[in-house]
């Protein structure tokens, strides 16, 4: 009964409230920063392509520069190279891998330089025609803000990680208006755990960003769409869409890192690479102006089937080529918006040939499947597409296609486009996670209950003869007084000083206040951490810390039992029933 009364479904720490309150501030700051980043993109777009200082939204495709448009991305790349060289190299890349690296290998500490220079570099990169989205930079910048805010409080590395992620996904919420998808992005890509201590602050930050967004930006879905329900035949088309999107994800990811390797072989400093990549962007932008920049207007046209097939094909090929070259050059920009455009473009090309559904549906389905396959986050991609369009009728096709793309890429790709970059820096990330077997079981389930104890009034000579002689059964024995544990005795404690004190009682060797104990309700993980921290082999298990009544002992070997049980669940194959087949008589 005592065990049932003390165990909980979740760890309830009052510090959870502190984290949630800080997350309110982080969410608000990230929302303002997202607005500022979008403003910078508009500002630099007008400056580079229209030679005007304005924050008005204009597409770089409307420029009248002629051949001079080729020079614009080159100039932007040169500026980014200088910022990376003399500011901070962390402005390079598309943001999410850098955030993951900081979380897993940098104790979630990010510098003020990142918070200032990342949005500046990204604004210049995208504003000068870079074929990127704003979500990667805001994830990096929002994460830096969350980390910086956390560094002003007395928090653990795990709590700082939560606030970093809260800032990152709050920024994504502000850019796209997708708070639930942002929370799922945190769960599937950034947190590497699912606990109240992480989920609550992240959800709070996204909710704050969602409520504040209409005050600074347009409210409503980014790409409003309404499709009809599909019939059973649509499932076949969804699987085809998922496999095709997964294949494109595989191809783009491999091509990207081959291009990155080619840049690495250039006989010039990496500072010049973004400018070199800008040449390809400029040439592509000259022939296909709508491939430049974020391209939200193009995504909207693709989802609404407003573009001819020939235009879609040319735009898709151009966007893929310049995106791969620009990102491979190490410039600054996000991957979500380009993936949305390329996925929607593939769907628009395939739509006339897809059975079981209306043509307007497939650009959306391919778009979500490409995102889910490339980023290995299928649930996030489904909800992301739903929140972008508010098209609830598309939910089932989105789920089927994204799941198929996810399964395909898991089987054929060792790493995703995000984790490959981190692996190239010498860090491997294992993306699967589940409940730790040591968390699932309590001490009461693995401890040894039949314990041989040493009485506190026994003399040193008696203990040496009875417990540590030729028939010694254990290395360590609990010492008890009237059933209450006061210490643990081992042979090394009975050295010459203790042994030659004739008639000395064992109880004189211990101070009960220094005794580390385990409770039956403690998780095996807690005990394992305690043993590792204090370099111990075993702990006495007591009923409660007031009475210290000994009820068992738990050792390192006992902690193997949960892992053995998990291994049995995962590896042992069993068949309990056979399907009966009628036999002829």
Tell me the per-residue pLDDT of 127-156, one tens digit each, with 9 for 90 and over. 999 888 887 788 888 888 988 898 888 888
Task: Say if residues 228 and 393 touch (Cβ distance below 8 Å).
Answer: yes
Q: What is the mean pLDDT of residues 512-524?
A: 83
Residues 363 and 471 in one domain: no
Least confident of 87-101, 209-223, 343-357: 87-101
Residues 64 and 150 in one domain: yes
| The domain boundary residue, chosen from 423, 456, 481 | 423
Contacts of 21 (CB under 8 A, 6+ apart): none
Domain residue limits at 322: 234-269+286-423
Does 168 fall in a domain? Answer: yes
Give the pair of three-digit tokens for residue 432: 């699967």
What pLDDT band is residue 521 in, cutting at 50, 70 and 90?
Answer: confident
| The domain boundary residue, chosen from 393, 423, 453 | 423
Question: What's the pLDDT score for residue 348?
Answer: 93
Residues 470 and 386 in one domain: no
Question: What's the pLDDT score for residue 409?
Answer: 93
Helix (H, G, I), strand (E, B) or coil at 468: coil
| The domain boundary residue, chosen from 401, 423, 445 | 423
What pLDDT band is residue 2 in, cutting at 50, 70 and 90?
Answer: very low
Euclidean distance between CA atoms 221 and 246, whole angstroms: 26
* Angle, vertex CA 57, rays to CA 52 and CA 62, nearest 5: 70
Q: Are strands 454-455 and 476-481 parallel, antiparallel or unpaired?
A: parallel
- Asked whether residue 511 carries a pLDDT value surpassing 70, the answer given is no
Task: Give per-residue pLDDT as tens, 248-262.
Answer: 999 999 999 899 999
Least confident of 218-227, 309-318, 396-405, 576-585: 576-585
Residues 19 and 164 in one domain: yes
- Asked whether residue 1 carries a pLDDT value surpassing 60, the answer given is no
Euclidean distance between CA atoms 226 and 385, whole angstroms: 12
Order of strands, sheet of 476-481, starting from the edge strand that comes earlier in the sequence = 454-455, 476-481, 484-490
Give the pair of three-digit tokens for residue 467: 């417990």
- Asked whether residue 103 carries a pLDDT value surpassing 80, the answer given is no
Which bin fits 567, alpha (ψ -120 to 50), beta or left (φ > 0)?
alpha
Q: Which residue has the higher pLDDT, 92 or 28?
A: 28
Task: Say if residues 218 and 175 touch (Cβ distance below 8 Å).
Answer: no
Residues 506 and 411 in one domain: no
Residues 49 and 78 in one domain: yes
Residue located via tokens 């739509």: 351
Euclidean distance between CA atoms 423 and 579, whole angstroms: 47
Question: What's the pLDDT score for residue 367?
Answer: 95
Give the pair of three-digit tokens for residue 277: 């990549």
Contacts of 302 (CB under 8 A, 6+ apart): 312, 341, 344, 345, 347, 348, 363, 367
Question: What's the pLDDT score for residue 501?
Answer: 54
Task: Say if residues 102 and 109 touch (Cβ distance below 8 Å).
Answer: yes
Residues 185 and 243 in one domain: no
- Asked whether residue 576 carries a pLDDT value surpassing 70, the answer given is no
- One-character DSSP codes across 287-320: H-GGGSS--HHHHHHHHTT-S-HHHHHHHHHHHH
Does 124 fall in a domain? Answer: yes
Helix (H, G, I), strand (E, B) or coil at 20: helix
Helix (H, G, I), strand (E, B) or coil at 505: strand
What rounded mean pLDDT belongs to the chain? 86
Euclidean distance between CA atoms 473 and 413, whole angstroms: 52
Q: Which residue has the higher pLDDT, 4 or 308?
A: 308
Q: Which residue has the higher pLDDT, 554 or 431?
A: 554
Does 491 fall in a domain? Answer: yes
Euclidean distance between CA atoms 78 and 281, whole angstroms: 13
Euclidean distance between CA atoms 491 and 480, whole angstroms: 17
Residues 242 and 335 in one domain: yes
Query: 239: how many CB neighbours lie within 10 A of its CB?
Result: 17
Contacts of 354 (CB under 8 A, 6+ apart): 237, 240, 241, 362
Does 2 fall in a domain? Answer: no
Query: 512: how many CB neighbours lie within 10 A of its CB?
Result: 14
Does 1 fall in a domain? Answer: no
Question: What's the pLDDT score for residue 575?
Answer: 66
Residues 195 and 244 in one domain: no
Name the phi and psi angles at 294, rounded to 5.
-65, -50
Least confident of 88-102, 211-225, 381-395, 406-420: 88-102
Helix (H, G, I), strand (E, B) or coil at 157: helix
Euclidean distance between CA atoms 145 and 170, whole angstroms: 11
Name the phi and psi angles at 306, rounded to 5.
-95, 0
Q: Which residue has the higher pLDDT, 568 or 71?
A: 71
Q: Are strands 550-555 and 538-542 parallel, antiparallel or unpaired?
A: antiparallel
Q: Which residue has the higher pLDDT, 433 or 283?
A: 283
Residues 33 and 137 in one domain: yes
Does 576 fall in a domain? Answer: no
Here the CATH number for the domain that contains residue 155 is 1.10.3080.10
Query: How much of the chain, in percent, has pLDDT values that exceed 70?
Result: 93
CA distances for 206 relative to 18, 23, 30, angstroms: 17, 9, 10
Euclidean distance between CA atoms 58 and 223, whole angstroms: 18
- Asked whether residue 305 carries a pLDDT value surpassing 50, the answer given is yes
Does 208 fall in a domain? Answer: yes
Residues 393 and 447 in one domain: no
Euclidean distance between CA atoms 140 and 165, whole angstroms: 9
Contacts of 24 (CB under 8 A, 6+ apart): 204, 205, 208
Q: What is the mean pLDDT of residues 511-536?
A: 85
Does 228 fall in a domain? Answer: no
Question: What's the pLDDT score for residue 453?
Answer: 87
Q: What is the count of structural domains for the chain? A: 3
Going by the DSSP 8-state scheme, the letter that residue 538 receives in this structure is E
Query: 105: how many CB neighbours lie within 10 A of its CB?
Result: 13
Question: What's the pLDDT score for residue 251?
Answer: 92
- Asked whether residue 578 carries a pLDDT value surpassing 80, the answer given is no
Euclidean distance between CA atoms 543 and 549, whole angstroms: 5
Residues 383 and 468 in one domain: no
Here the CATH number for the domain that contains residue 548 is 3.10.580.10
Structural element, H or E, at residue 480: strand 476-481
- Asked whether residue 122 carries a pLDDT value surpassing 80, the answer given is yes
Nearest to 187 by CA among 384, 31, 392, 427: 384
Query: 133: how many CB neighbours lie within 10 A of its CB?
Result: 29
- Asked whether residue 577 carries a pLDDT value surpassing 70, the answer given is no
Question: What's the pLDDT score for residue 336?
Answer: 83
What pLDDT band is residue 490 in, cutting at 50, 70 and 90?
Answer: confident
């Amino acid at each position: 009964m005592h065990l049932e009364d003390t165990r909980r479904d979740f760890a309830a720490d009052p510090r959870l409230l502190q984290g949630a309150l800080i997350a309110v501030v982080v969410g608000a700051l990230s929302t303002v920063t997202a607005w500022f980043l979008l403003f910078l993109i508009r500002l630099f777009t007008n400056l580079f392509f229209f030679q005007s200082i304005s924050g008005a939204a204009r597409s770089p495709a409307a420029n009248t520069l002629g051949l001079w448009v080729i020079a614009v991305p080159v100039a932007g790349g040169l500026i980014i190279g200088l910022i990376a060289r003399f500011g901070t190299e962390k402005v390079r890349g598309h943001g999410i891998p850098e955030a993951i690296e900081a979380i897993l290998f940098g104790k979630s500490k990010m510098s003020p330089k990142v918070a200032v220079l990342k949005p500046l570099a990204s604004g210049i990169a995208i504003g000068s025609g870079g074929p990127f989205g704003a979500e990667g930079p805001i994830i990096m910048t929002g994460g830096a803000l969350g980390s910086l805010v956390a560094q002003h409080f007395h928090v653990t590395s795990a709590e700082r990680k939560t606030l970093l992620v809260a800032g990152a996904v709050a920024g994504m919420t502000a850019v796209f208006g997708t708070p639930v998808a942002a929370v799922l992005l945190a769960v599937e890509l950034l947190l590497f755990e699912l606990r109240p201590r992480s989920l609550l602050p992240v959800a709070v930050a996204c909710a704050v960003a969602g409520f504040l967004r209409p005050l600074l930006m347009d409210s409503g879905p980014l790409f409003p769409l309404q499709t009809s329900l599909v019939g059973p035949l649509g499932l076949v088309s969804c699987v085809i869409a998922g496999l095709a999107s997964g294949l494109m994800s595989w191809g783009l990811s491999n091509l990207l890192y081959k291009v990155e390797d080619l840049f690495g072989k250039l006989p010039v400093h990496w500072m010049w690479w973004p400018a070199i990549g800008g040449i390809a962007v400029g040439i592509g932008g000259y022939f296909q102006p709508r491939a430049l920049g974020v391209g939200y207007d193009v995504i909207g046209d693709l989802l609404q089937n407003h573009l001819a097939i020939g235009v879609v094909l040319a735009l898709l090929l151009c966007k893929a080529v310049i995106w791969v070259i620009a990102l491979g050059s190490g410039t600054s920009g996000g991957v979500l918006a380009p993936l949305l455009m390329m996925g929607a473009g593939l769907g628009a090309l395939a739509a006339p040939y897809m059975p079981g559904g209306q043509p307007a549906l497939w650009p959306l389905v391919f778009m979500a499947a490409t995102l889910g396959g490339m980023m290995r986050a299928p649930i996030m991609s489904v909800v992301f597409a739903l929140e972008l369009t508010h098209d609830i009728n598309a939910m089932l096709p989105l789920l089927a296609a994204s799941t198929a793309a996810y399964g395909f890429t898991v089987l054929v790709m060792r790493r995703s486009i995000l984790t490959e970059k981190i692996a190239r820096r010498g860090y491997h990330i294992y993306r699967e996670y589940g409940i730790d077997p040591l968390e699932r079981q309590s001490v009461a389930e693995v401890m040894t209950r039949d314990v041989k104890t040493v009485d506190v009034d026994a003399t040193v000579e008696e203990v040496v003869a009875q417990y540590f002689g030729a028939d010694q059964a254990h290395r360590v024995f609990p010492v008890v007084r009237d059933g209450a544990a006061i210490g643990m005795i081992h042979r090394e404690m009975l050295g010459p000083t203790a042994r030659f004190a004739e008639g000395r009682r064992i109880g004189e060797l211990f101070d009960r206040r220094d005794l580390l104990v385990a409770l039956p309700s403690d998780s095996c993980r807690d005990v394992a951490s305690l043993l590792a921290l204090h370099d111990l082999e075993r702990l006495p298990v007591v009923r409660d810390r007031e009475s210290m009544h000994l009820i068992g002992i738990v050792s390192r070997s006992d902690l193997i039992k949960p892992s053995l049980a998990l291994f049995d669940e995962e590896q042992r194959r069993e068949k309990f029933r056979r399907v009966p087949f009628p036999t002829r008589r």
